[in-house]
Structure 1
């Protein structure tokens, strides 16, 4: 014999019910079938809402009753042939009238007890089971309907009754042996007590009904039919890459269902476990899918079977020095909670015995504090124990798997993955079976936590990094083009999926959690919202996506000001913008500290030398124990380009304009020509070398006349034209000495300077062409012959590639 249970979505419409009928008829060809059904989807909630409104003297319950009646009558009309509808419609109408009578009584009394609620909600299953039984008989398939209240005996704990298995099993066996029908239809969820008063088995109790029946008749299998094709590795509403679990053990299924997996009701497993009856979870709307089989031993070789979570958790902490070494505190705590019928979800206690924490449903927290504080009234009054502390807005995320006990390091991987993404763990629990590891986290972080753990344990093929990019100018556009070009390469060779979630410029911003199409990002951004930096940043923080990276491809000081708030939320920052790293020393140190404290990379390689690995090379020297004594560098690709192209035959202003047009300068070229940009760069290098230095401590020997510094950028170009003789004289003097002009940054034992220098042919900086940069590091290890980093140090393409490289470093944290 088979026992089949179909849930609310499977009974949600006439078309769905027809599919159920066909599935059951096919099964009945091979075996007798007991069919258990839930109420039509949403009906139980509507019935409870009717009761609540009626008890609150709100007559709008009548409108809801009308909706319930109309839905069921319309379903019958679509489900049953016209000539056979009359008796079924009459039965549905009779049941709906009874519902109305109950609600009218509640309305008159302004009161609704648990007993009354059980009676009220029982009609959902009575209606659905009556309709599907009529559907069988109307198409020539013989079936018998049986009221589950006549078979399943419980105590009188209304809304969550406890089954008396001795009586229940005998009544089920007697009934099944007395009928010759191959299909027996029963309503799920409902039962009755010794006085034949209606009780219910808890929300989701239709699964439990089916399991009770399966165990009583020694069924060959129990099949739970729902709207998904089996149990999944995580909630697919949160984790798009969640996978079907083909096979799972009873114990794993109980753990997952206890920790929030909604596919199966937690008590369902217990009745069938002792009889070793396999449980199948199947999809009504994809009946040929394999589904999940739950049995004594799983065939899976996966270390982790699934990830689940519970929300609405409160953590109760009982602490006090008077607890240490004194037996009985734990038993008194649990007795107090048990007497108040408060279910404990999680327990954790430190070896110091100074405190014990338990997790309970948040709805029970206030009651828990009341009973626990009363229980320990004397100890609290004598300062041996503190009053019970309650922390809310928490959730549990749990890893479940039979194979965990055979593998070391699972806890380490779990906590490391959460830590890398800035998810703080409030409490930890692991059973002695090592089948479950549970961590309590903030509810705001639970979705992120589930995704992080799913990626860690199930998505070894690919890791997703979520980018939020500010700046779509020359560098930004090329960065987006490079990301688009390399998508396939990154997925194939680095197992990395780069998801562009947010884009913003000075005019518009766009956020799409599923990813912005890089083939038409420009068009999408133009149609986005009006740009608002605060709103953009808060959206990043609120979404709390795993592996998030904020990419600043601007030169805007206001944008640099948001780095701290992002790093504090464990969001990596990749900055092309030099403002933050060259800001006041305290701010620079703060950002570096936040990066370390919250495990969020703060990377700014392109601040010096565009795509050249200058900062990275310096960091490697420092991390390996070397010490920098001196640095000589040409750090402005703009100035190098300008002085390599200026020979006095055409105006200096024209050469500068050429550099700007080719994308080598800052938006305001005066930052380059005044030496400010080079000062920032040598400051950043000095700080990365471990020197505490401010911008004001750097000597700048500039070459721009005062007239070129004032006014707008347009005024600047006009002033340069007027000062052409000045620039020509500078060139002629260097040329007369057979030297080249280079704007050199120098650092020597704690002091830094920048300025225009005459470089003779034998100097290391002489052979530097185009927009090239070069840095010479003189260190303990490189005393006579410096370590040299040289190459193109300006240009949108190479700068974008440097930003790209930092993104990859951040992604691999």
Structure 2
């Protein structure tokens, strides 16, 4: 004997019902199949009852629409010659429903018994219509009224089965029947008083399980619209996988904490008889599905699945009045039990100073009231604080039999959540260690479940979600480099790098659900909405994606001053923009501390030396225990390009213009030629070496005439032309001595300085060509010969590649 159950989506319409009948009749084995109401019908019946109780006459329109839905199903499924009896049944049923609803309307209230009567019509109608369809196909079977087999108490809405009498009725019925195929409505039963009861939402599963257990069935099959139980809710996690085999206890934990595929009470009767439960897909019957059984032999994964429950409230009772006082917990839980409030999760401090429970949000305020009442004396005497309520919460849970034998699972769970800025309000872990649960904000559920799924099920693939601010020379080249390398990163580093947003100074292009299409991003950005930085930052934060990185490839001070917003939400920052790390020291330290406190990466390698590993090498030296004695460097690719190309034959202004045209300068070339850019760079190196310097502490010698610093960029170039003789004199002085002009930065004994120098032919800086940079680190280990880093220090491609490298380093 096999027992099959088909859910609402499986019998949603005539087409689906035909699929169900084909599945049921595919082989000649003896079967009972239980059906739910047509999809959405139970919710509509509940609405009808509530509208009637609320004195809203529109309930009659809802009844008419529901009647039409069932009449249409009859007309679509049955030949015209056999429709009459079923059409009459539907009309008679809805007349009865209308009579009950009218009584509710007049009384302006709905009793639990009346509600059960109303919502029970859905399964009766669907099973009768399907039975009639099978008769039209000459399929021999028997329709069973589940109310005649399942006996319950009077707990309307979620009645309890009286198993002894129920099991005997089931056995007697099937022993007396000579049929090979049976159909029955799920969800409904009957109390000893004769009134209709229901078994709770999802109770059709339970109907099938109770009958299967009574008959010692060979198998129980739950047919739904997914191909088995999944490692996570596929509506939240795109990469959720089917769990091929799972133990009864694991399945109970997953269903208790939100997995909707199987109604939680279903598992207990089957487990008691060791009946395997198969979860199958009505729309893909060939898929293997999931089998729930006593032992679940699985290789590899320690965690079996991740589930979540939303609409949770957290109640906390705290105070010294509980410490060492017997019976506090009993009083607490007795109060909730007497109010028929279900506790979803419990946690208690080891000091006995507090008890914290999670309940359904609908019960939250009522639960707080009954607990406060139970402890009224202690609260009035200030031994306890009134119950603290927290709402808009959810529970995420890791489930797996193997977790008990693998230390560190909880640590991995909480570190993954913490790295993504997900705050945990409460934690619970049973002594069996099959479940680790955490209460979090509902706003973080999707990110949390995806984060945990990636951590425990997608070790071969990590996702990085990137927002790029700035689409100038470097930003555009960065986007192109990422586009070209996405497949390589996925194949070789198992890194799925997704660009989620691109913004310039006026507009932002943000992906709705998936990553942006980079094939024509420039035009899409032009067509996108205008947006200011504060709103853009808010949108990035509200996206709430795991492993998020904001990339700043601008020279915008406002953006640099917003890094703390991202870091404090565990959003990593990759900065090409030098302003943040060269601003006041307090802000620089704050950013470093936020990065550490909130597990968010903060990388800015391209602040010094474009794509050269200048900062990374310095950090490696310090982390390995070395000490910086002195730094000497040529840090401006722009100035090196300018002085390598200026020989008096072409004006100084023309050489600078060429440097700007080739992408070597800042948007305002005065930042380079005035030494500000180099000052920022040596300041950043000094700070990374451990010194609390400010910009004002740097000694700077100017070579530009002072009047070139005022006015616009056009005025600046005009000033350069006017002062050509000054620049020619600088060049000639160096040339006459066999030297070259280099703009040098130095740091030693806590002091930093920058300025133009005449470099002789035997110096390290003499043979530095084009736009190259060079950095010399003199340390305790590199005392005689410095550690030298040399290479291209400017240009869109190399800078973009340095930013790209930092992005990859930010991957989890």
Give the shorter-chain TM-score range: over 0.9
Which whole-Å CA distance do the structure 2 matches of 1:400 and 1:166 have between them? Answer: 33
Give yes or no for the alignment of 1:649 onto 2:649.
Answer: yes
- Give how far 1:364 is off: 1.4
Structure 2 partner of 1:414: 413
Name 1:69's counterpart in structure 2: 67
CA distance in 1, matches of 2:475, 2:548: 18
Q: Which moved more, 1:428-437 or 1:605-614?
A: 428-437
Partner of 2:270: 272
Post-superposition offset of 1:383: 2.7
2:51 to 34, 50, 53: 53
| 2:451 equivalent to 1:452 | yes
CA distance in 2, matches of 1:651, 1:598: 51
Which residue matches 2:40? 42
- Per the alignment, residue 555 of structure 1 pairs with 555
For residues 596-631 of structure 1, the C-alpha deviation after alignment (integer angstroms, 9 at most, x for no partner) is: 111101111100100111111111122223322321
1:633-782 to structure 2, matched below 5 A, reads 633-782=633-782
Displacement of 1:639 after TM fit? 0.2
Question: Displacement of 1:142 after TM fit?
Answer: 1.7
Aligned-residue CA RMSD (Å): 1.3
Contact kept in structure 2, 1:254 and 1:266, CA below 8 Å: yes
C-alpha displacement of 1:314: 1.6
Quote how far apart the aligned CAs of 1:367 are: 1.7
Report which stretch shifted further, 51-60 or 235-244. 51-60
Deviations 1:21-44 (A, max 9, x none): 1111114x1x12111111111111
Distance of 2:572 and 2:330 partners within structure 1: 46
Aligned residue in 2 for 1:286? 284
- 8 Å CA contact 1:337, 1:372 repeated in 2: yes
CA–CA separation in structure 2 for the residues paired with 1:81 and 1:162: 40
Give 1:507 deviation, angstroms.
3.8
State the Cα distance separating 1:777 from its structure 2 match. Answer: 1.7
**Structure 1 position 361, deviation (Å):** 1.2
| C-alpha distance in structure 2 between counterparts of 1:235 and 1:153, whole Å | 34
**Deviation (angstroms), 1:372:** 1.4
Q: Distance in 1 between matches of 2:597 and 2:322?
A: 34
From 89, 108, 115, the counterpart of 2:106: 108
Name the CA distance, whole Å, in 2 between partners of 1:640 and 1:507: 33
Q: 1 CA distance for matches of 2:507 and 2:71?
A: 52
Once the two structures are overlaid, the 10-residue window that deviates more, 335-344 or 372-381, is: 372-381
- Alignment map for 1:329-368 (pairs within 5 Å): 329-368=328-367
Q: Distance in 2 between matches of 1:378 and 1:715?
A: 80
Residues 575 and 607 of structure 1 are in contact (CA less than 8 Å); yes or no, is this contact kept in structure 2?
yes
Q: Secondary structure at the match of 1:671?
A: helix
2:315 is matched with 316
Q: Render the CA deviation track for 1:271-324: whole Å, top value 9, x for unaligned.
A: 111111111111111111111111111132221110001112222222222322
Counterpart position of 2:625: 625
Map of 1:521-560 to 2, 5 A cutoff?
521-560=521-560
Q: Which moved more, 1:67-76 or 1:516-525?
A: 516-525
Structure 2: segments with no counterpart, 5+ residues: none
Q: CA deviation at 1:536?
A: 2.3
Shift of 1:561: 2.1
**C-alpha displacement of 1:349:** 1.7
- Once residues 703 and 125 of structure 1 are traced to their aligned partners in structure 2, the CA distance between those partners, rounded to angstroms, is 89
> SS of 1:192's equivalent?
strand
**How far apart, CA to CA, are the structure 2 residues paired with 1:586 and 1:415?**
30
Which is further off, 735-744 or 309-318? 309-318
Contact 1:115 1:198 in 2 (8 A): yes
- Cα distance, 1:386 vs structure 2: 2.0
For residues 168 and 526 of structure 1, the distance between their equivalents in structure 2, rounded to whole angstroms, comes to 69
Structural mapping, 1:398-413, within 5 Å: 398-413=397-412
Name the CA distance, whole Å, in 1 between partners of 2:318 and 2:103.
48
Report the more deviating stretch, 82-91 or 713-722.
Answer: 713-722
Tell me the distance in 2 between the aligned counterparts of 1:279 and 1:528: 51
* Contact 1:504/1:531 (8 A) holds in 2: no
Q: Distance in 2 between matches of 1:308 and 1:8?
A: 22
Which residue number corresponds to residue 205 of structure 1? 203
Matching residue of 2:462: 463
Q: Which moved more, 1:423-432 or 1:3-12?
A: 423-432
Aligned mates of 2:711, 2:65 — CA distance in 1: 73
CA distance in 2, matches of 1:92, 1:23: 26
| 3-state SS in 2 of match to 1:224 | strand
Aligned residue for 2:87? 89
CA drift at 1:487 = 1.6
Q: How far apart are the structure 1 equivalents of 2:158 and 2:514?
A: 41
Map Cα deviations across residues 367-392 of structure 1 (whole Å, 9 max, x no partner): 22222122222222333222222222
Cα offset for 1:113? 1.4
Mapping of residues 583-622 of structure 1, within 5 Å = 583-622=583-622
Partner of 2:233: 235
Between the aligned partners of 1:102 and 1:144, the Cα distance in structure 2 is 29
**CA shift digits 1:561-610 (9 cap, x unpaired):** 22111111000000111111111111111111111111101111100100
Task: Give the Cα separation in 2 of the matches to 1:531 and 1:337.
Answer: 50
**Does structure 2 retain, via aligned residues, the 8 Å contact 1:189–1:208?**
yes
Q: Distance in 1 between matches of 2:120 and 2:737?
A: 102
Match of 1:298 among 288, 293, 296: 296
Instruction: Tell me the CA shift for residue 520 of structure 1.
Output: 2.7
Is the 8 Å Cα contact of residues 249 and 295 (structure 1) preserved in structure 2?
yes
Question: Which of 133, 142, 151 is matched with 1:135 structurally?
Answer: 133
Q: Provide the residue aligned with 2:505 in structure 1.
A: 506
Instruction: Provide Cα deviations, 1:89-142, integer angstroms capped at 9, x if missing partner.
Output: 111111111111111111111111111111110011111111100110011102
Distance in 1, Cα, partners of 2:777 & 2:242: 56
Pairwise CA distance, 1:684: 0.9
Q: Do the aligned residues in 2 keep the contact of 1:396 with 1:439 (CA within 8 Å)?
A: yes
Counterpart contact for 1:505–1:531, Cα < 8 Å: no
Quote the Cα distance in structure 1 between the aligned partners of 2:542 and 2:163: 49
CA displacement at 1:417 relative to structure 2 = 1.2
Mean CA deviation greater in 640-649 or 751-760: 751-760
- What corresponds to 2:788 in structure 1? 788
Aligned to 1:483: 482
Q: Distance between the aligned counterparts of 1:69 and 1:533, measured in 2?
A: 54
Contact 1:21 1:135 in 2 (8 A): no
Q: 2:572 is matched with which residue?
A: 572
**Deviates most, 46-55 or 486-495:** 486-495
Equivalent residue of 2:755, what SS? strand
Listed one character per residue, the Cα deviations across residues 306-347 of structure 1 (whole Å, up to 9, x for unaligned) are 000111222222222232222221122111111111111111
Who is 2:582 aligned against? 582
In the TM superposition, residue 672 of structure 1 has moved relative to its aligned partner by: 0.5
Q: Distance in 2 between matches of 1:175 and 1:505?
A: 74
User: Please, what TM-score do these two structures have when normalized by structure 2?
Assistant: 0.98
Q: Please name the residue that 2:96 is paired with.
A: 98
Is 1:803 the counterpart of 2:803 in the alignment?
yes
> Structure 2: how far apart are the matches of 1:389 and 1:625?
49
Describe the SS at the equivalent of 2:425.
Answer: strand
Return the alpha-carbon distance in structure 2 between the equivalents of residues 396 and 111 of structure 1.
34
Cα deviation, 1:396-423, whole Å, max 9, x if unaligned, reads 1111111112212211211121121121
- Kindly state the Cα deviation for residue 481 of structure 1 after the two structures are TM-superposed: 1.6
> Structure 1 residues 771-780 or 621-630, which shifts more?
621-630
TM-score normalised per structure 1: 0.98
Structure 2 distance, partners of 1:400, 1:11, is 31
Corresponding residue SS for 2:581: coil
